[in-house]
Amino acid sequence: MAIRYLIAGNWKMHGTPTLAAALAGELANAFTDPDAHDLELLVCPPAPLLAVVRAAIGSGKLLLGAQDCHPREEGAHTGDVSAQMLFEAGCSHVIVGHSERRTDHGEDDALVRAKAVAAQAAGLVPIICIGETLAEREDGRAVEVVLGQLSASLPPACSAYNAVIAYEPVWAIGTGRTPTGRDIADMHSAIRGALPGLATGAEGMRILYGGSVKPDNAGEILAIANVDGALVGGASLDAGSFLKIAASRP
Ligand code: 13P
């Protein structure tokens, strides 16, 4: 079956209502029906900008996602948002377990899994992030670490439709450094190989690559076997760059 590429923009803590509306409007206008055949284009703005981005998308096919959710349905959790709230705000996806949340907020695999389960229960597709640090790679433990995170972070029921994996080597995020094509291929193949043993229906899940994806390297990265899309940080804040990355799919 042909791959339906998912190109996701993680805006992180960037944007104002005016900038967000302009960026989303430009993307929504440029992303037309023929593109939608083999491509899902997703933007994940900060939570307070979800409504303005939703309005800018209008009836367009650009998808809306969030950057995090709480594992509980509701309750006394100051500062958090539930998956159901995100669904009702018009989201289809939510990133969980991004390395910046694992580092900044001490999130561990068990919490990431609980968030992914909550997302699925609310009808959202969790984008579950995993990735090794530079020290772990230099120790020769990258595959072991990533497969460990994978097995502990995946919800019990995963399919090509209800969850996505994003492999993001921590040392490649925002640094302009990327692994070699061979290293990406080896890691994605290791992840693909592990999936059938980890969750019911997981073998067809899409595996995104993230970490310094730019217009000039996207073509090479997206052509690698078992790379089913990209999770893009910095380059997703510019409509032209983000669309060029999407257009680089094989
Ligand atoms: P950069 O594309 O800026 O390296 O960020 C990657 C990332 O963290 C996406 O989630």
- pTM reported for the whole predicted model: 0.98
- Residue whose CA is at the smallest distance from ligand 1 atom 7: 233
* All structural domains of the chain with their residue ranges: 5-28+38-239
Strands (E), 173-237: 206-210, 229-232
- Residue whose CA is at the smallest distance from ligand 1 atom 2: 233
Q: Cβ(222) to ligand 1 under 6 A?
A: no
Q: What is the pLDDT of residue 173?
A: 97
Q: Answer whether 57's CB lies under 8 Å from 24's CB.
A: yes
Q: What is the pLDDT of residue 31?
A: 93
Q: Cβ(58) to ligand 1 under 6 A?
A: no
Rounded to the nearest integer, the mean pLDDT of the chain is: 96
Q: Cβ(231) to ligand 1 under 6 A?
A: yes
Q: Over 80: is that where the pLDDT of 2 sits?
A: no
**Among candidates 3, 2, 35, 1, which has minimal Cα distance to 229?**
3
End-to-end CA distance of the chain: 14
pLDDT digits (tens, 9 = 90+) for 56-82: 999 999 999 999 999 999 999 999 999
Give the residue, out of 13, 168, 178, with the most ligand 1 atoms within 8 A of its beta carbon, to mutate for a pocket test.
168
Superfamily of domain 5-28+38-239: Aldolase class I (3.20.20.70)
Rounded to an integer, what distance in angstroms lies between the CA atom of residue 161 and that of residue 143? Answer: 25
Residue whose structure tokens are 């990209």: 230
- Please give the backbone phi and psi of residue 170, each rounded to the nearest 5 degrees, phi first: -55, -40
Q: Is 168 a catalytic residue?
A: yes
- Mean pLDDT within 43-52: 98
pLDDT digits (tens, 9 = 90+) for 148-168: 999 999 999 999 999 999 999
- pLDDT tier at 36, thresholds 50, 70, 90: confident
* Ligand 1 atom with least separation from CA of 236: 2
Q: Cβ(234) to ligand 1 under 6 A?
A: yes
- Mean pLDDT within 91-117: 98
Q: What is the pLDDT of residue 207?
A: 98
DSSP string, 30-46: H--TTGGGSEEEEEE--
Q: What is the pLDDT of residue 97?
A: 98
Question: At 76, is the secondary structure helix, strand, or coil?
Answer: coil
CA dist list (Å): 22 to 12, 39, 55, 189: 17, 22, 11, 38
> Crossing angle, helix 181-194 and helix 215-222, to 10 degrees?
50
Rounded to an integer, what distance in angstroms lies between the CA atom of residue 211 and that of residue 177? Answer: 8
Q: Over 80: is that where the pLDDT of 109 sits?
A: yes
Options 70, 132, 168, 188, the catalytic residue: 168
pLDDT digits (tens, 9 = 90+) for 179-191: 999 999 999 999 9
**Among candidates 244, 248, 242, 191, which has minimal Cα distance to 63?**
242
**Among candidates 85, 111, 113, 104, which has minimal Cα distance to 12?**
104
Q: Cβ(229) to ligand 1 under 6 A?
A: no
- Mean pLDDT within 105-124: 98
pLDDT digits (tens, 9 = 90+) for 200-241: 889 999 999 999 999 999 999 999 999 999 999 999 999 999
pLDDT digits (tens, 9 = 90+) for 17-30: 999 999 999 999 99
- pLDDT tier at 34, thresholds 50, 70, 90: confident
Using the mean position of ligand 1's atoms as its centre, give its distance from the Cα of residue 51 in Å: 23
Element spanning 37, H or E: none
- pLDDT tier at 1, thresholds 50, 70, 90: low
Rounded to an integer, what distance in angstroms lies between the CA atom of residue 112 and that of residue 217? Answer: 29
Sequence-separated (6 or more) residues with CB below 8 Å from residue 214: 235, 241, 245
- % the chain with pLDDT above 70: 100
Using the mean position of ligand 1's atoms as its centre, give its distance from the Cα of residue 102 in Å: 14
DSSP string, 81-102: -BHHHHHHTT-SEEEES-HHHH
Element spanning 216, H or E: helix 215-222
Q: What is the pLDDT of residue 201?
A: 86
